[in-house]
Amino acid sequence: MENYLIEIIIAMILLELFEASWQKAQSVEGVLYNAYIYYQKSIFLLFLMHPTFYFVLFVSLATQTLNFGIIAILTLKAMDLIFKIDILKKHFIEHNLDLAFEGMIKAKVEPWLFSMGVLLYVPILFVSLV
């Protein structure tokens, strides 16, 4: 397992950077719009645009590791995707988003925020596999 640890971490970093690159926008609404573009084509395409969820699931099965770190990553990734789909449906399809959320999604997103996936999930995965 130690032989593959570096490759697993590098792959996770690259996949996180991929996710950050297609989601990058000036505001939360822009992030949701980027997701909505894939959602319009197919909800399954939107799921595929989140490869780190599947990668962590694969790593967990391949290494036979299921601990708090792996479960935390999978839970956070799943919750992110579920809430993202719910909010983009309410905003772009039903046009029925709560007024409090309307103000929040107009908020500017700092560029460093998109690197949070690399800064959060990669260390948790590393600690989980060591």
* Domain locations in the chain as residue ranges: 2-129
- pLDDT class for 114, splitting at 50, 70, 90? confident
Cβ-contact 9, 130 below 8 angstroms = no
Q: Would the pLDDT of 3 be above 80?
A: no
Max Cα distance, the chain (Å): 51
Which one, of 118, 113, 116, 111, lies nearest residue 16 by Cα?
118
Name the burial class of residue 12, with classes exposed (0-12), middle (13-18) and buried (19+) by CB atoms within 10 angstroms of its CB: buried
More confident residue, 15 or 95: 15
Q: Name the pTM for this structure.
A: 0.84
CA distance 103 to 95: 14
